[in-house]
Structure 1
Amino acid sequence: MGHLVTVATCNLNQWALDFEGNTKRIIESIQKAKEAGAKLRVGPELEICGYGCLDHLLEQDLYLHCWEMLERILKDESCHNILLDIGMPIQHRNVRYNCRVICLNGKILLIRPKIWLANDGNYREMRHFTPWLHSREHEEYHLPRRIQKLQGATHVTFGDAVISTPDTCIGAETCEELFTPDAPHNHMSLDGVEVITNSSGSHFTLRKLDIRLQLIMEATRKNGGVYLYSNQQGCDGDRLYYDGCAMILVNGEIVAQGSQFSLKDVEVITATIDLEEVRAYRSAISRSLQAANSKAKYDRIQTKFELSSEEGDLDLARRPTPPIQPRYHSVEEEIALCAGCYLWDYLRRCGVAGYLVPLSGGIDSCATATIVFSMCRLVIEAIEVGNNQVIEDVKRLAKYTEGKLPKTPQELCNQLFHTVYMGMSKQSSNETRQRAKDLAEAIGAFHVNLDIDEIYHAQRNLIVNTLNFDPKFKVEGGTIAENLMLQNIQARSRMVTAYEFAQILPTTRNRPGGGSLLVLGSANVGESLRGYLTKYDCSSADINPIGSIDKSDLKRFIAWAEKEFDLPCLREFLTAVPTAELEPITETYVQSDEVDMGMTYDELTIFGRLRKVNKLGPFGMFQRLVHEWGSDKNRGPDDNALIYEPRQVAEKVKRFFHFYAINRHKMTTLTPALHCNDYSPDDNRFDLRPFLYPSFWSSWSFKKIDEELEKIEKARKK
């Protein structure tokens, strides 16, 4: 009996409802796995229909089309002689399940429904599916007629079972099940399952890969065995980016790891495993007594198909794949790569001519523009290595002579990316105008430099002529209402102007297919959380690559890109004071974002994490921060933590929740942002909260803060 086994897992760039395209990529991954000698291939969660179908998963058509695509795979003889783990939704007795379909040589061996569903944060699986509630139980599934003909039978096993081959035993779990405390892989491992597959639709957030890796490593370190992790990679049609990183682990060590960010539509990774190493490892750890005493017995679906062979073991060139060190990206790289890949996927699939950014000369729009440049760099790299899909997309999107392709990111950027600086003669400084121009030139963007004074004065004169009232800015003696109205005229005029140019620029530049440009937003997560933006100003866009990234991480990214992308002009953006430039500049006054907001960007990051991630309301946040920010004489000289008196902490917490509440309505119209942080205030299916709040100033929460503050101050006086 042989014991060397080659297995394969993959990253697939699937797209919601792209049934034929998804199936084509599945078949390609199977063929690549076979070419590498693999006898087992596992793919991502819901790979036939795409993970991000959302409420389309309630439609009967979707289930029909999935069966039609599975039939295409089963009939394709190039997909035979390899054990396949394929993801699709299935209805069983009028109940919808998220399933793995285990197939071999054109026939289904087992349909394994997902047991534990993801139902938090970005996920609503309980809205679309029902979990399989019968642990280690199964029943008969009545196959569709078209599949019965292939199967030569009317029914197949449906439920929680495993596959037994002459040389090993294989079990499947799906995405969320890995993250549960009592994960199925524990019970399967104790019952002798040696190879476990995990098919995921796991989205990216900054610094998340480490958590995922730790869970998989721990699963196989405790239990021993082989773990194959597959994930979707790319934009599936929503705000999420699925970050791939398919992996194969053996006994707590990584032996193969795919890319986390890539423009490849199909990426297959393989490894050769020695099953005897699994058995030896398990016999030497604290497992045997629990395994012998375990009541978790799985029914085994028997097959004669072998993953190993004696002939394969005699091949002296074949040996087990050695362990490798896990690969991680820095936060700065994650922003550049994730957002760049996402923007390319979005652009090539949505059918527009390119992107446009209102470039203000500030760091936020600078970061958005630099991310687009990162996208262009990734595309050029893909062209250089001969990625045919990318080459085909570039030829379709960009205007080049026959047979010619762009050689530099700047050359591609000039075709796909447009920037517009929209200044005001009294409010806009020469410095911001010059920074915008310098950046556009450095990255190759097609840049437009204009002023909106005429539009602004036309709108302002509507008030003067209609109401016989002459509004003034604050620095000119105007009221708060006048000041805000005059600022908002400019802000909303910029939004209209941005869309005006996005619509016409491809035509004036004679771009392929005419069409229009997608407008990119550039409001960071802190500004959205605080509501420091005008509703329907140029924060309103089609998509926002930085909408869930905080100012600190954006600054790190720009500092990194200055060196990595060789863009010296980025230094000026890092040292500039953040300003909206909506009020007139005088000798004694320049508008400042942090002064206007009444809090710093660093403070906003802390408020955001405590509110969303730590689930704290006003009183709980005060209790937490009064200790973390409290004046402490024992702090070391290198401790950079904020230090405030308890009364200052109370004021800051109250101010944050006040502005959060009165501006919450803005989140309902917030541009959908690429999801990068778990404290994003994005109302688009992530941060589900009211948008009409009672006054916090008279709320019980604020009264409790005052009571606690009084107790603290009395105690300190003693």
Structure 2
Amino acid sequence: MGRKVTLSTCSLNQWSLDFDGNLERITRSIEIAKSHGAKYRLGSELEICGFGCADHFFESDTLLHSFQVLRKLLESPLTEDIICDVGMPIMHHNVRYNCRVLFLNRKILLIRPKLMMANTGNYRELRWFAPWKQSGYVEEYFLPKMIQEVTGQDVVPIGDCVLSTKDTCLGSEMCQELWSPCSPHIHMGQDGVEIFTNASASHHELRKADQRVHLIQSATTKSGGIYLYSNHRGCDGERVYYDGCSLVAINGDVVAQGSQFSLNDVEVVTATLDLEDVRSYRGELCQPQTGNQVKSLPRIKVDFSLSSYDDVYLPTHRPIEWSFHSAPEEISLGPACWLWDYLRRSGQAGFLLPLSGGVDSSSTACIVYSMCVLLCQAVENGNSRILEDVRAVVSDGSYVPEDPKELCSRLLTTCYMSSENSSESTRSRAKQLANQIGSTHLSFNIDMAVKGILGIFSLVTGRRPQFRVNGGSHRENLALQNVQARVRMLLAYLFAQLSLWGRGQSGGLLVLGSANVDESLTGYFTKYDCSSADINPIGGISKNDLKDFLLYCVERFQLTALRSILEAPPTAELEPLSDGQVSQTDEADMGMTYSELSVIGRLRKISRCGPFSMFCKLIHMWKEAVSPSEVAQKVKHFFRMYSMNRHKMTTVTPSYHAESYSPDDNRFDLRPFLYNVGWGWQFRSIDQQVQQMSTSQPAEDRPRPQ
């Protein structure tokens, strides 16, 4: 009958400028798609060169090598009798475009440039690419000689048009275009296009996957059709992690789903669908209506069928229920996959983590342990590439990881760096957690190094600073805390470089940081202390989410040591103890709770609030618990701390991006780092509003004098 089509989409772990590896993964995905009977294969955005090339897109080498990879794909017998849709940069009339290249049997059918650029948050596409000139516009593109030699074509169409095969019509949109209020699939659907494809590089954020899936379901619910979505996977050399989630949907239903987080470099999702289901669904929706004339898109006719003539016995895929991960599961999986990508590609032999026994460093340790669990599962499932990479990291060609705890002992070194201000309880909690996850644990005292540095200062100045409890000033107290924190950073890097050498093993370790996103907002950490590291898997995650994650780890991994860690108040332990007990807490130092900080962070970044508008929102959000004058005090305190410490963001450790209110400087959050910390006009506006509210308050509601 010729009405059922088999289509494949994929998630590939591509790496910027890794043309050999990228070609191998693309080729493997085509091979898998063909083995499943697919006649069309969709890959992710800019998959040939990698999405995260950034300013390498300006280099002619990137364009040249992309075309060289395209030539190898065109020449490969694997690409015969299947429409291949790959992503790469193309320069046309001296303008650079982010493009899809669709080809079949050594002929390029179409080059489709991106119409709408992603240019907010983590994305700067307009820096490197131009949007295509206009909807429905097509020109001729003169192929480079190396491609002409293979295809025999001098020119091919470039622009916004669709492919018309013998049995259906197929149109492309790319990543950001799905999120646009005027997405191309709307016009294409009205013009009779039955199969929509989307090549994407959409990064992971906590609780974001459902938005993506619902957009695709909505797209095909409104006008019917088949939707193929391909998303990039892996870290690609950046702070963001691309989480896959490739899928196939029809008429509002998801029928095939790829994994959101996976260590597999290549995942292909294939579905067989009936075109008549689309046509029946559209029977009423697409009847011509007066005044609703649609301008037809240019069509490229292709002498090829996506369906087979005799397909009556070919089963079609049925709707499935999408399984979304909870936020703690996302924290367990996303940063773990990101860490593994970074470790195996860095050439290092593992991680070193300063483990304080608090929520933040314990969360980082648990993410590494989760990574080890994923690696052992992958090897058990027969993933030979993972086994090869693990053996390379541990420098043991015969090693087979079977137990996550044993693997963690090889990949993670934790160290508790105590001082005279450290409590026995934090030391015990750190040791207990290290024992349960299996990390190689070190414990040593830093007082000798701290006293040596302070001795140099005293020798030069003739003065010795004192803690506040011993009569010292605020400046002295802060300096004494900072010197302890910075000594820990120096020792962390020393042990990262030489601890394996000390054990007679080869290689060095990557230092892991563990400052959460809320502390970064206020700058509640010492510049160049042990929060300064090579990478930080929790730098984009809130304290509240980290606590939920640790509760999840108690149940998921049976890490009972985390219970006492969760019960303890967060503390830096940089001031003297009181009767052997901690007297300093993070929330007291910051002047607000972590829960309050999360709300303030979202208002600052996501709602784009300055001091006055933040105050106006919070007096309603917090009216049950906090008075307007107290709200004003908290807002002003936050902005003073934020502006005083904003400079710290210029040196913050590269962190896994997981929250849309991350303060990551000049990467995600483009705000200054030098402020007038007085905020004179803004704070006066708040004070005037508080005064106005107090005088306009009904007499019976005003506070009575005591």
TM-score bin (small chain): over 0.9
* Mapping 1:609-628, distance limit 5 Å: 609-628=602-621
Is residue 403 of structure 2 the alignment partner of residue 408 of structure 1? Answer: yes
Greater CA drift, 415-424 or 588-597: 588-597
Q: Deviations over 1:333-357 (max 9, x none)?
A: 0000001100001000010111010
Does residue 644 of the first structure (1) align with residue 637 of the second (2)?
no
Q: What is the CA–CA distance in structure 2 between the aligned matches of 1:538 and 1:519, rounded to whole Å?
A: 9
- 2: CA distance, partners of 1:377 / 1:571: 21
Is the contact between residue 398 and residue 412 of structure 1 (CA under 8 Å) also seen in structure 2?
A: no
Cα deviation digits, residues 461-492 of structure 1 (max 9, x gap): 12222211121111111110110111111000
Amino acid at match of 1:221: T
Q: Does 1:225 align with 2:216?
A: no
Aligned counterparts of 2:363 and 2:658: Cα–Cα separation in 1: 14
In 1, Cα distance between equivalents of 2:292 and 2:698: 62
Which 5+ residue runs of structure 2 have no aligned equivalent?
700-706
Q: Which residue does 1:604 correspond to in 2? A: 597
Task: Please list the CA deviations of residues 193-221 of structure 1 after superposition, one character each: whole Å capped at 9, or x if unmatched.
Answer: 00010000000000000111111000000
Residue by residue, what CA displacement relative to the aligned partner does 1:387-411 show, whole Å, maximum 9, x if unpaired? 11101001111254x5341210011
Structure 2 counterpart of 1:51, one-letter code: F
Which residue of 1 is the match for residue 245 of structure 2?
245
Partner in structure 1 of residue 355 of structure 2:
359
Partner of 2:191: 191
Conservation of the 8 A alpha-carbon contact between 2:47 and 2:87: yes
When residues 615 and 354 of structure 1 are mapped into structure 2, their CA distance, relative to the original with a 3 A threshold, is same
Alpha-carbon separation, structure 1, partners of 2:158 and 2:633? 59
Matched, 1:554 2:546: yes
Deviation at 1:717, TM superposition (A): 4.2
Q: Cα deviation per residue 1:599-639 (whole Å; 9 max; x = unaligned)?
A: 110011011000000100000000000111113xxxxxxxx
Partner SS state of residue 87, structure 1: strand
**Quick one: distance in 1 between partners of 2:64 and 2:9?**
26
- Alpha carbons of 1:524 and 1:462: their partners in 2 closer, same or farther (altered >3 Å)? same
Q: Matched residues in 2 for 1:110 and 1:404: separation? A: 48
CA spacing shift, 1:22–1:421, aligned 2, 3 Å: same
SS at structure 2 position matched to 1:419: strand
- 2:704 is matched with which residue? none
Shift of the alpha carbon at 1:78? 1.2
Is 1:114 the equivalent of 2:107?
A: no
User: For residues 101-500 of structure 1, what are the structure 2 equivalents within 5 Å?
Assistant: 101-285=101-285, 287-289=286-288, 293-311=292-310, 313-314=311-312, 316=313, 318-400=314-396, 403-424=398-419, 426-500=420-494
Question: Do 2:90 and 2:98's aligned partners in 1 also have CA atoms closer than 8 Å?
Answer: yes
SS for the counterpart of 1:289 is coil
* CA shift for structure 1 position 589: 6.0
* Displacement after TM superposition at 1:146 (Å): 0.8
Q: CA RMSD in A?
A: 1.2
1:291 Cα deviation from its structure 2 partner: 10
| Mapped partners of 1:696, 1:52: distance in 2 | 39
- Tell me which stretches of 4 or more aligned residues in structure 1 moved more than 4 Å: none
* CA displacement 1:402-439 (0-9 Å, x = unmatched): 53412100111111110111001x21011100111111
Deviations 1:92-117 (A, max 9, x none): 01000000001101110000000000
Matches of 1:586 and 1:655, distance apart in 2: 27
Structure 2 residue matching 1:605: 3-state secondary structure: helix
| Aligned equivalents of 1:610, 1:290: Cα separation in 2 | 44
Task: Summarize deviations over 1:168-205 as a string: whole Å, max 9, x none.
Answer: 00000000000000000000010000001000000000
Question: What is aligned with 2:523?
Answer: 531
| Aligned residue pairs, count | 698
Q: Given the alignment, which residue of 489, 509, 518 partners 2:503?
A: 509
Q: Deviation at 1:584? A: 0.7
Give the Cα separation in 1 of the matches to 2:118 and 2:563. 42
Q: Per-residue displacement from partner, 1:539-559 (whole Å, max 9, x unpaired)?
A: 100111000100100000000
Q: Equivalent residue of 2:193, what SS?
A: coil
Distance in 1 between the 2:251 and 2:421 partners?
Answer: 63
Does the aligned pair in 1 maintain the 2:573–2:582 contact within 8 Å?
no
1:700 shift after superposition? 1.0
Contact kept, 8 Å, 1:190 with 1:290, in 2: the verdict is no
Of all paired residues, the percent bearing the same amino acid is 54
- Output the CA distance in 1 between the equivalents of 2:196 and 2:687: 55
Long gaps (5+) in structure 1:
632-642
Q: Is the 8 A contact 2:423 2:582 kept in 1?
A: no
The residue type paired with residue 664 of structure 1 is R
* 1:707 aligned partner: 688
Post-superposition CA distance 1:108-159 (Å, at most 9, x none): 0000000000000000000000000221010100000011112212100000
Between 1:77-86 and 1:261-270, the stretch displaced more is: 77-86
**Partner residue of 1:85?**
85
Please say if residues 549 and 676 of structure 1, whose CA atoms lie closer than 8 Å, have aligned partners that are also in contact: yes
* Partners of 2:215 and 2:504 in 1: CA distance: 52
Match of 2:566 among 559, 571, 574: 574
- Closer, same or farther: CA 291–352 of 1 in aligned 2, 3 Å: farther
Structure 2: distance between partners of 1:427 and 1:87: 56
Name the CA distance, whole Å, in 2 between partners of 1:13 and 1:467: 56
Deviations 1:24-81 (A, max 9, x none): 1001000100000000110000000000000101111100000000000000011111
| 1:672–1:684 Cα contact (<8 Å) kept | no
Q: Structure 2 length normalisation: TM-score?
A: 0.98
Residue identity opposite 2:101 in structure 1: V
Corresponding residue of 2:512: 520
Residue 636 (structure 1) aligns with: none
| Structure 1: distance between partners of 2:483 and 2:461 | 16
Contact 1:190 1:294 in 2 (8 A): no
2:687 partner amino acid:
D
SS in 2 for 1:335: helix
* SS state at 2:320 partner: coil
Equivalent residue for 2:649? Answer: 667
1:293 shift after superposition? 3.7
Cα deviation 1:313-335 (Å, max 9, x = unaligned): 14x2x211000001100000000
Name the CA shift for 1:621/1:290 in 2 (closer, same or farther; >3 Å): farther
Cα distance in 2, alignment partners of residues 356 and 687 from structure 1: 28
* Contact 1:399 1:415 (8 Å CA) reproduced: no
Within 1, Cα distance between the matches of 2:98 and 2:461?
61
Q: How far does the alpha carbon of each residue in 1:360-406 deviate from its partner, in whole angstroms, 9 at most, with x for none?
A: 11110000000000000000000000111101001111254x53412
How far did residue 295 of structure 1 move?
2.8
Mapped contact 1:220–1:226 kept (Cα < 8 A): yes
Partners in 1 of 2:595 and 2:100 — Cα distance? 44
Q: Would the aligned equivalents of 2:119 and 2:126 in 1 still touch at CA under 8 Å?
A: yes
* 1:288 positional shift: 2.1
Structure 2 counterpart SS, 1:553? helix
**Structure 1 residues 290 and 221, CA gap change in structure 2 (3 angstroms):** farther
Give 1:468's aligned amino acid. G
Partners of 1:510 and 1:69 in 2: CA distance: 42
1:111 match: secondary structure: strand
**Deviation per residue, 1:245-299 (Å, 9 max, x gap):** 00000000000000000000000010000000000001133x3235994333111
Determine helix, strand or coil for the equivalent of 2:242: strand
